[in-house]
Structure 1
Amino acid sequence: MNTSEKKIMIIDNDDMTIEILKFLLNREGYKISIAKDGITALERIPSIMPDLVITTIIIPLKSGLEIINHIKENYKEIRVIALSSLGEEEDTVEEAFKLGVDDFIAKPFNPNELLLRIKRLL
């Protein structure tokens, strides 16, 4: 499957992060969908069935940890990368891995590193 057939959902409420990710991922040919809060994300996942979800830990309405938990319980084939601002608690990162997150990247992130990690997961 080439990248143009791969679907990535971005779950973040930070417009700058969304714009950076959209630019990067569109340039690579991925199909992008965006949710700015956890409830919208959980509602859209079944219809979109993304190959990969990139979620921030702290987002409105449902946390990134709740989203990771939901995905890993219900959609084991969906890969998840968690994004977290520097300074967020180390135990949050630990909790994300316990819930089954596939990778974790601190913000601000290196775009090339993120792309390599996405390609590795997909």
Structure 2
Amino acid sequence: MNSSEKKILIIDNDEMTIEILKFILKKEGYKISIAKDGVNALERIPIIMPDLVITTIIIPLKSGLQIISEIKQNFKNIKVIALSSLGEEENTVEEAFELGVDDFIAKPFNPNELLLRIKRFL
């Protein structure tokens, strides 16, 4: 399957992060969907069935950790990469991995590194 058939859901409420991700991922040919809060994200996942979810940890209505947990319980094939601002507690990272997150990247992130990680999953 080539990248143009792969769907990525971005869950973030930071416009700058969304724009950066949209730019680099569309350039690679991925189909992008955006959710700006956890409730909207969880409503959309069963509809769009993304191949990969990129979620920030701190997001309105439901946290990134809650989203990771629900995805990994209900949609085992969906890969999840968590983005987290530097300085968030180490136990958040540990908890994300305990919930089944596939990868974790600190913000600000290197777009090329993120792309390599995405390609590893897709």
TM-score bracket for this pair, using the shorter chain length:
over 0.9
Residues 7-46 of structure 1 correspond to what in structure 2 (within 5 A)? 7-46=7-46
Residues 1-122 of structure 1 correspond to what in structure 2 (within 5 A)? 1-122=1-122
Relative to the length of structure 2, the TM-score reads: 1.00
The Cα offsets for residues 54-81 of structure 1, whole Å up to 9 and x where unpaired, read as: 0000000000000000000000000000
Amino acid at match of 1:87: G
Report the 3-state secondary structure (helix = DSSP H, G, I; strand = E; otherwise coil) of the residue aligned with 1:88. Answer: coil
Tell me how far apart the structure 1 counterparts of residues 102 and 79 of structure 2 sit (CA, whole Å). 6
Relative to the length of structure 1, the TM-score reads: 1.00
Report the 3-state secondary structure (helix = DSSP H, G, I; strand = E; otherwise coil) of the residue aligned with 1:77. Answer: coil
How far the C-alpha of 1:28 sits from its partner, in A, is 0.1
Tell me how far apart the structure 2 counterparts of residues 21 and 69 of structure 1 sit (CA, whole Å). 23
Tell me how far apart the structure 2 counterparts of residues 44 and 104 of structure 1 sit (CA, whole Å). 22
Identity of aligned residues (%): 84
Tell me how far apart the structure 2 counterparts of residues 16 and 48 of structure 1 sit (CA, whole Å). 23
Where structure 1 has 5 or more consecutive residues not aligned to the other structure, the ranges are none
Aligned structure 1 segments of 4 or more residues deviating by more than 6 angstroms:
none
How far the C-alpha of 1:10 sits from its partner, in A, is 0.1
Count of residue correspondences = 122
